[in-house]
Structure 1
């Protein structure tokens, strides 16, 4: 069953219950109103009769009585003193209203004893109620069918944007043309938000696909270079016999190239893992930073760089492996690209609901126009010749930040070099 039919069915059930309840209420209110009008006419007739008792002019009294009424005055012993019209039924002289054999009777007590009895046929009221009942029984089904048809038309009109989204999704899946967009519905209703959200999703999907295509091309190029070097060096070494020293040089070059290739592959694997959902674990970022500093102590000594630790307790919930990788990449970049004999600052702290890791150096920094480019895969800054690396460090850190719902900011450090700031919020984590 289609969504239109289900919506129409639900609407019909609610509408049917509402119409039945409304019909019952209307009939009940009309029934009560008619009987109140009848009782008021009897009460009015009794009051008129009491006021005209001394006149004994039945003709004058008849002219003042409302409608077809039979009126009888009884004394204290229950004997009729006089009457106007012939009573239709005989009832006891009990004060108040009675309904007997389709007749409404009202007994009004007199001050000195006795009763004024007024009666009137209910046939007119019952006939009116019968007509009302027939009108409701005939009109409500017609109204129900018309409203049901209108409900289906409204459901069809409301769901047309959904059909457009569905057809476009099918077309995109068949043609892989991610640049298409759904015509956006005007206004601020649910359908307008749906079409805008779907178009925004398509935009993000298109950018992601284009980025992945560019990344795949860049990765293929970066992997082809070391593989070509390996193949060329090995082929060159096998062309003719070499001395043991030449073989050792060739093998050392092959080992260095293989190590670079392994680092690129490892970085690519880590980058792929950042798109995999994970279960957050308790992490102390200050302790992770201390472990990373100890791990890179050899590199710092080689560059004669002093790592200044400013680690505040920074508890967080995240992925320990990728967070350690992010901190290690930021610190190793600062050490490798900073000046020899310089200083590097490694800081952790909490800022409200956000955990922050900062790495700053005293290097030349990066021009503002190059910051965005350096976040792309396999991009390296000027002045990095001679420093081994694939240009995936900052890309990987940015992906890890996004994996945790955070961001990576690059800006000029107060110390004069580059400040890399990793912000990890507790909320809004993917």
Structure 2
């Protein structure tokens, strides 16, 4: 419809312009011809006189002539149709009061274009019918051509529109099919061109991301079910044992005080392990989705807060801090959780007499955090998988934990555009290093510390 309307408007405007040009050209030609014919007639009249000039009979078509005599009477050829009465302007030309005159008379069906030229004491007039038939025929032809163009434009526009929108129709059908079947495994055929091709490619990329997300969720659910099975089974068996003994009334006799205490301690440890596992699973299931906003923060404050929490959770742990003020743009709670997981992981391996060492420094445009212990270290075979979910080295399976702590660290660091690595420390244990992009300190702090070399913060 838009194409047909545009063509119709274009044809109408072209018809108007062309008709005006054609009419003007025809009128100019007719006027020039009348002037030429009147000069020929005037030459003849000058030789013979107005009253004596011989006017040949009217041939039946073509020009019409008339001689205006000084007394106001007129002469016309025999058989010629009557012309309109001599106008006042033409009479003034015959009297010499005005120059030659071109006038038209379109008051009736027989309109004339009349040219008046003074000759002697009178004037001669040459006239032609004002014939609009050429313009009318041209207009009819333009109308027919315009109708054909409009019909052709509508047909072509519909064909182009349907062809161009066919991939969109198929894309819509594919999207509806995905919404109805929840099947995101099949890609949408890559067809079309330009914007449509880019749209289809973008939707295929989105479907691929959804497939990866669903696969990750499935793996997480399967791994979580596997990891939850053992502590839940142990917890259920211990609780069932207590219930069975209590129902029989043999709880005190079957379980001495020390055995009962050990069993209750095991139950408490298993509940605590399940609570930790549930919290870590929640963090992993949330992925990068977080309501916590990004802000400019001092990593030293984050490290000190994480060390304080680690000491409150495990009073026997000793954490040695060597931190320097380094500013980054990040999420404080997420970074604190990552640092806390590193400290918890190191505390499992570091001997009681050896502290966990935590160092923070600035290196170029990066903030570098290192956590090392004096334990046995990580075997080279385990290094590639140490950050995988639920992965636990052979030597770590007897220790408490779920194998999710370092996975959370990896996710937090990735969300902050950083990197985390594991190597062997100088004390023989594991050295885990986090590198984050540093940020410029706040303007107010820069003004307060102008002239100072460094600003450091350390905690025991």
Q: TM-score, normalised by structure 2?
A: 0.67
The answer to whether 1:146 aligns with 2:155 is yes
Identify if the C-alpha distance between structure 1 residues 242 and 136 changes in structure 2 by more than 3 Å, giving closer, same or farther: same
Alpha-carbon separation, structure 2, partners of 1:41 and 1:218: 97
- Give the structure 2 partner of residue 251 of structure 1: 264
Q: Tell me by how many angstroms 1:377 deviates.
A: 1.7
Residue by residue over 1:72-106, the C-alpha shift from the partner in whole angstroms, topping out at 9 and shown as x without a partner, is 788999998999x8785455458566562464637
TM-fit CA distance, 1:260: 1.2
Within 5 Å, give how 1:274-285 maps onto structure 2.
274=287, 276=289, 278=291, 280=293, 282=295, 284-285=297-298
Q: Find 1:411's aligned residue among 406, 421, 425.
A: 421
Report the structure number with the largest CA radius of gyration.
Answer: 2
Partner of 1:128: 137
- Alpha-carbon distance, 1:324 to partner: 3.4
Structure 2: state its 5+ residue gaps.
47-55, 91-99, 246-250, 440-460
Structure 2 counterpart of 1:185, from 184, 191, 194: 191
Could you tell me which of 258, 263, 270 is aligned with 2:283?
270
**Following superposition of structure 1 onto structure 2, how do residues 70-89 of structure 1 map, counting pairs within 5 Å?**
70=64, 88-89=83-84
Distance in 2 of aligned mates of 1:116 and 1:366: 121
Deviation for aligned residue 1:181: 2.4
Report the Cα distance in structure 2 between the residues aligned to 1:227 and 1:216, rounded to whole angstroms.
16
Of 207-216 and 336-345, more deviation after overlay is shown by 336-345
More deviation, 411-420/324-333: 411-420
Alignment match, 2:458:
none
Gaps of at least 5 residues in structure 1 are: 1-11, 426-430
Aligned length: 394
Match of 1:420 among 434, 437, 444: 434
Q: Name the residue aligned to 1:31.
A: 19
**1:281–1:195 distance in 2 versus 1, CA, 3 Å:** closer
- Hey, what's the Cα distance between the residues in 1 that align with 2:119 and 2:363? 96
In 2: Cα distance, 1:277 partner to 1:88 partner: 97
Of 385, 399, 409, the residue aligned with 1:373 is 385
Any idea what the Cα deviations from partners look like across 1:351-379, whole Å, max 9, x if unmatched?
Answer: 6xxxx764323468768885663333212
User: What CA distance in whole angstroms lies between the structure 2 residues aligned with 1:138 and 1:146?
Assistant: 12
Is residue 16–residue 144 contact of structure 1 (8 Å, CA) maintained in 2? yes
- In structure 2, relative to structure 1, the CA distance for the partners of 1:412 and 1:246 (3 Å cut) is closer
**C-alpha distance 297-277 of structure 1, shift in aligned 2 (>3 A):** closer
Report the equivalent of 2:221. Answer: 216
Q: Is the 8 A contact 1:331 1:346 kept in 2?
A: no
Aligned counterparts of 2:293 and 2:336: Cα–Cα separation in 1? 14
Between stretches 392-401 and 202-211, larger displacement belongs to 392-401
CA distance in 2, matches of 1:40, 1:369: 101
| Aligned match of 1:157 | 166
Q: Do 2:63 and 2:126's aligned partners in 1 also have CA atoms closer than 8 Å?
A: no
**What is the match of residue 406 of structure 2?**
394
What SS does structure 2 have at the residue aligned with 1:296?
A: helix
Match of 1:4 in 2: none
Q: Within 1, Cα distance between the matches of 2:82 and 2:304?
A: 110
Aligned to 1:42: 30
Closer/same/farther in 2, CA of residues 348 and 304 from structure 1, 3 Å limit: same
